[in-house]
Amino acid sequence: MLPPLFSTLSKPFAERYDPESPWSLLGDPLDEILGALPSSEIESGLLPEVHLAGDRIAIGRGTRIAPGVVIEGPAWIGEEVEIRPGAYLRGGVWIGDGAVIGANTEVKRAIFLPGAKAPHLNYVGDSILGAGVNLGAGTILSNFRHDGAEIRIGREIASGRRKLGAVLGDGVQTGCNCVLHPGVVVGQGTQIYPGVQLRSGVYAARLLIKLVQQLELVPLGS
For 113, 120, 128, 129, the CA distances from 168, given in Å and listed in that order, are: 10, 17, 6, 5
Mention every residue, 6+ apart, whose C-beta is less than 8 A from residue 179.
139, 140, 142, 196, 197, 198
**Contact (Cβ atoms closer than 8 angstroms) between residue 195 and residue 211:** yes
Of 51, 120, 146, 181, the active-site residue reads 120
181 is catalytic: no
- Say how far apart CA 172 and CA 101 lie, in whole Å: 16
- Say how far apart CA 33 and CA 50 lie, in whole Å: 24
Which positions are annotated as active-site residues?
120
